[in-house]
Structure 1
């Protein structure tokens, strides 16, 4: 992946290696079986999006600028070739693991996948009846066109394809319903997305047996084609081009423009084809008619689209094959009966999900909606859940007469439709909705509450590294800050003024905003660390993020390395920086942690000659985040919270069970405890820390003793003691 001249790894190949690390978790025997299956499914869904966006973009680039190389020196065509080679390797390994390890082990534990050829007589009868009653009425068989053209193939939908041959005299069939003699009788059936793909078979024992919806359709699909027998069949899925961008100069109505993008995406061309290996003849026809090449085709065994198999992990009765529950813990600092406003006037609060509960964020918004002294609420929304309680709370606040302003980012890829719906719904209830800054995505996460109090107007701010989404807050590791710091509150007001209306770029004292000054601030702090550093007293930068690929940032880190600055990077996904090269990056180490929670927080620490600084941010160190998105970086200055962030970073870098280390050749090595070294699993240690903190706080909460007394009897009667 590296290049000696430019010293950058290729971005796309680096991202693919992240999925190889995810696959490593599926291969770990110490992980519960159903969690291993989940990791397999995550790889499938990740690659779907990768091909829709990144590979589709490369294919466009290969047509327009075929000789234009990226920072690693690779042309688009060369990247496409290397991508195909590596993804095919991972794809083959992924399906081998399912076929030869995960499914057999699950079968031994009483959870068995049963293909149609292994049905018992009772199961075959059940499957046939199920097909006739629940599936057959939903199916619409489609024939290929006059010249063998394929019918419309929807993106990410599963299809069954059947190669047919007549078993009756075709002279008695009307020509409209009979293929010409020289044509292939090829038919397609979309597998109904509304029906659960996993079909549980009847069982008289405690063992659970299941098959797949596509298996049943293949097994009984002949019923769809009277007068024909099925010669060959397979299941396939097309991943289509989703690399569309809106022409923001041409459209005045931005919502209408985004709806055009959604329509174009629905009718886009295939980029990748995955299929079962059950018919080479049908595969050949599909490749020819879609215009794909052999490197775009990925053949599995008898099961494709592993992403939907993650539903198996929720099967009741198999909890011992899942991770032990880590119940989110409510922060002790917020457990008092005091209103959040009173707590935040005294101190800042740091919230670390999913170890800690997301409820304080929902409580903050709910309190703001219901408090009669709250005058205004302003917030950004990038991605929310499908039935977001936050949306309902904002509507309630607007109905109560509060001024509610929400910036809904319509360009959040694959959430455009949902966000358009939210925007329209919020406007209906009187919320001021802002959507769209030309050529920029608003990716910052901020909530501002304006409250009237006895000493005047007070503003309360919540800022986060992750989205306002209570569902992903159970799965993603993110950190947020609650504060009433007047300087930050003033900056928050300035921020919303800048993104919601006409406003010159204004200076913010504590916050840094992309694309205005966030990147320049990072470059300044890296340069400052370099200036403080000597061989005897080296500087230190610790940073945790999702991705690192901005060339200017990487070059600055290389320069700092040559000034003896020690640079410790925790990069979950893409990393185009090349570590471990003499006179370039020998003082730079890069790790990536893959565990039960998705690492999503961005934490930046600079030693600064002893005047330490720590920041949280919505932004990764990527050109798209720093130059083409609206992002925020905010400081954590309260002494105890600053130390907590620093401790979190050190803990991540001490992980020796789930951390992978990046080598100079672009490969990753899983770290393991050395002889005599205590195993450290960062996520488990974090959960135990918050659990112990909550338990200690519960013991320290003063308890009121209930004194039970008998009430006096009527006057004249004996009194109780």
Structure 2
């Protein structure tokens, strides 16, 4: 079967929903419930028998961590609005209070399902030689071993705390996990309430001695309960419970801040003490302990989730054992593009030959790092400019920029302090850059700079040549191993000028004039998208082939959704790959019957943003208009961030995006979920397909067109089914 067979398959029949008012808010699906739906899909991957056992465990951990962040950011914001009496509805018509009620119901179901999945995975892990034990299952040899572990590795970092008038209830940080103990003094039977905060620096699962070649682990809380007598000499345990808190993680920064870095440092300290928005408590807690915990944390019953099972499910990632590669995905080594190898690793020579688009992680992110490292030591390079939204703690990119600055080159780093949860790391990186002599720019106070741009200005003969990198993902070498993203390398002078204007805009606040090949938020990107969608609709009205393919993480911006609805009603065929949140309702007769939406959840996290317009020729077509972007189609990205939309002009790169990347994503069956008009996603019926096509496997096996070397960029190979 070929790509064409998949891409020409008819759209599913539209459904009629006569009772719905699609002129109003019912034409949108709720953003928060759509996000929860995505996290259900992540969790269902933990039940996917075609995934290796420990990879399924990893999916379980990811779903739990995702839900924690959702509560600390999205639920916290809705809760603040509801508590302030704000009844302003979202695009779908639901007030903050309405949304909180539906979220609570769905999220509780999700947490219960996570526990059921964990129970199932534990049984499978035991069959594979990885066992979780309780303290009542320990042997004498185990206890002797654990005594040594406790005294050497755990006891020194614990701080047992009494809770009484002389010892006030301590501060419990966000995601803080704590044991609450009801104790009795042996000599006079006097009661004592105590807390045992569990430092996050200690492993959650303690390894036990091997038994018959198998690995065994004891949860840390079980180890602590085993040693209560050591922690509280002269007392015995009468009752206990475990609890974990989530706090509001929003940051507010004063508009008139005189020192932005210092203001963020103060705001980060405030965030540590954000209000508790969820308390997860082990079931069967002593009633007195339960009352004290709730009162001291300031929560009511609606914010408490009692739980019979593992609290802190995200911690199960520790059990993805390095020495059990047989239970994980086969090792995949990212490719070095042939063209770079042809030029003996010289990135500038490879880019000079023609534009090059790398598809990460299939092509290694090391090429982005190499681009900057070579620029740092090249005597002909005179200037480097770089955006930094998220990067790793020990960032080779920041190191390269520092080396370049120390070598006397002009280095400008645009550091985004408002990258959520990376604020502190970005402050550290900015200071390191400043010490090296780089110019550090923090951009706008009211807009996040989310664009991914790097420029290197190199003296070549009598002229200066600008080499530019545009990315769809962050400059983060760790996440680049699992996020699918695109990196465009070019020395096209027009794109170089456009990129320089973006840096001047963010650094000097002057809106760029005369952009040649780039649209940016918040100035022109949204308008450009609406213009391109409307143009495709006019092609349909004129009887020409009209088609739109787009790929992104989230789609919720009402004006863009309405534009897509209008294009669908005029006959434009629209195929969307939306990994996460989707507020558009596809397949509704009279509204969106020409729109289909799918989500891909698999080995790699889909993160690239692409949009293709048939331009009167349908798709795929050589005369299509093709763009890559740093922006999802959300209000924040299109209206309140600095983002880029880059039109692809090089024919080979365009063929790579349309005929290889987008075609394979649309053809995927193995990892795909199809969205219905009511917002629900249903997994493709893989069992009914003899050899379901897996786009991740296809990309692992087929090099990107524009990175090919002396063999030339041949046509995209016809797609044939390959087994999982």
1:492 aligns with 2:511: no
TM-score by length of 1: 0.91
1:644 aligns with 2:656: yes
Aligned residue for 1:519, secondary structure, equals helix
Unaligned runs of 5+ in 2: 1-19, 618-622, 713-724
The answer to whether the 8 A contact 1:332-1:693 is kept is no
Instruction: Give the whole-Å Cα distance in 1 for the aligned partners of 2:286 and 2:569.
Output: 56
Aligned to 2:647: 635
Aligned to 1:109: 128
Deviations, residues 155-202 of structure 1 (Å, cap 9, x unaligned): 1121111112332226xxxxxxx76xxxxx321111122222221101
Report matched runs for 1:519-538 at 5 Å: 519-534=526-541, 537-538=544-545
Deviations, residues 681-713 of structure 1 (Å, cap 9, x unaligned): 11111111129999x96999xxxxxxxxxxxxx
The answer to whether the 8 A contact 2:204-2:318 is kept is no
1:87 aligns with 2:116: no
Deviations, residues 10-66 of structure 1 (Å, cap 9, x unaligned): 111111111000011001112111000000000111111111111110111002243
Question: Per chain length, whose mean CA-contact separation is higher, i.e. which structure has more relative contact order (CA < 8 Å, sep 6+)?
Answer: 2
Aligned to 2:188: 169
* Deviation of the 1:516 alpha carbon: 0.5
1:579 aligns with 2:591: no
* Deviation of the 1:275 alpha carbon: 2.9
The answer to whether the 8 A contact 2:343-2:350 is kept is no
Which of 683, 692, 696 aligns to 2:696? It is 683
* Deviation of the 1:535 alpha carbon: 9.0
* Deviation of the 1:203 alpha carbon: 2.2
Instruction: Give the whole-Å Cα distance in 1 for the aligned partners of 2:651 and 2:219.
Output: 55
Aligned residue for 1:27, secondary structure, equals coil
Aligned to 1:253: 259
Aligned to 1:658: 671
1:48 aligns with 2:60: no
Which of 36, 43, 46 aligns to 1:26? It is 46
Report matched runs for 1:221-620 at 5 Å: 221-247=228-254, 249-279=255-285, 281=287, 282-316=289-323, 318-337=324-343, 339-534=346-541, 537-610=544-617, 611-620=623-632
* Deviation of the 1:464 alpha carbon: 0.2
* Deviation of the 1:260 alpha carbon: 1.3
* Deviation of the 1:502 alpha carbon: 4.4
Instruction: Give the whole-Å Cα distance in 1 for the aligned partners of 2:546 and 2:145.
Output: 69
The answer to whether the 8 A contact 2:241-2:286 is kept is no
* Deviation of the 1:669 alpha carbon: 0.3
The answer to whether the 8 A contact 2:625-2:647 is kept is yes
1:59 aligns with 2:54: no
Aligned to 2:636: 624
Aligned residue for 2:510, secondary structure, equals coil
* Deviation of the 1:299 alpha carbon: 3.3
Aligned residue for 2:195, secondary structure, equals strand
Distance 1:534 1:147, change over 3 A: farther
The answer to whether the 8 A contact 1:329-1:691 is kept is no
* Mean Cα deviation higher: 336-345 or 47-56: 336-345
* Mean Cα deviation higher: 491-500 or 400-409: 491-500
Deviations, residues 458-492 of structure 1 (Å, cap 9, x unaligned): 11000100011111110100001000011111111
Which of 68, 72, 89 aligns to 1:69? It is 89
Aligned residue for 2:703, secondary structure, equals helix
Instruction: Give the whole-Å Cα distance in 2 for the aligned partners of 1:693 and 1:487.
Output: 20
* Deviation of the 1:537 alpha carbon: 4.2
Which of 215, 221, 228 aligns to 1:208? It is 215
* Deviation of the 1:673 alpha carbon: 4.4
* Deviation of the 1:87 alpha carbon: 0.7
* Deviation of the 1:149 alpha carbon: 6.2
The answer to whether the 8 A contact 2:342-2:709 is kept is no
TM-score by length of 2: 0.91
Instruction: Give the whole-Å Cα distance in 2 for the aligned partners of 1:454 and 1:680.
Output: 50
Deviations, residues 612-635 of structure 1 (Å, cap 9, x unaligned): 101000000000000000000101
Deviations, residues 275-305 of structure 1 (Å, cap 9, x unaligned): 3324252344423432323332233334211
Distance 1:523 1:691, change over 3 A: closer
Instruction: Give the whole-Å Cα distance in 1 for the aligned partners of 2:710 and 2:230.
Output: 64
The answer to whether the 8 A contact 1:619-1:625 is kept is yes
Unaligned runs of 5+ in 1: 171-177, 180-184, 701-721
Which of 148, 154, 161 aligns to 2:173? It is 154
Instruction: Give the whole-Å Cα distance in 1 for the aligned partners of 2:173 and 2:511.
Output: 45
Instruction: Give the whole-Å Cα distance in 2 for the aligned partners of 1:417 and 1:186.
Output: 36
Aligned to 1:667: 680
Instruction: Give the whole-Å Cα distance in 1 for the aligned partners of 2:447 and 2:710.
Output: 46
Instruction: Give the whole-Å Cα distance in 1 for the aligned partners of 2:594 and 2:575.
Output: 8
* Mean Cα deviation higher: 199-208 or 140-149: 140-149
Instruction: Give the whole-Å Cα distance in 2 for the aligned partners of 1:286 and 1:21.
Output: 34
Deviations, residues 110-138 of structure 1 (Å, cap 9, x unaligned): 11111112112211222233223332232
Aligned residue for 1:350, secondary structure, equals strand
Distance 1:3 1:118, change over 3 A: farther
* Deviation of the 1:76 alpha carbon: 1.1
Aligned residue for 2:702, secondary structure, equals helix
Instruction: Give the whole-Å Cα distance in 2 for the aligned partners of 1:535 and 1:311.
Output: 58
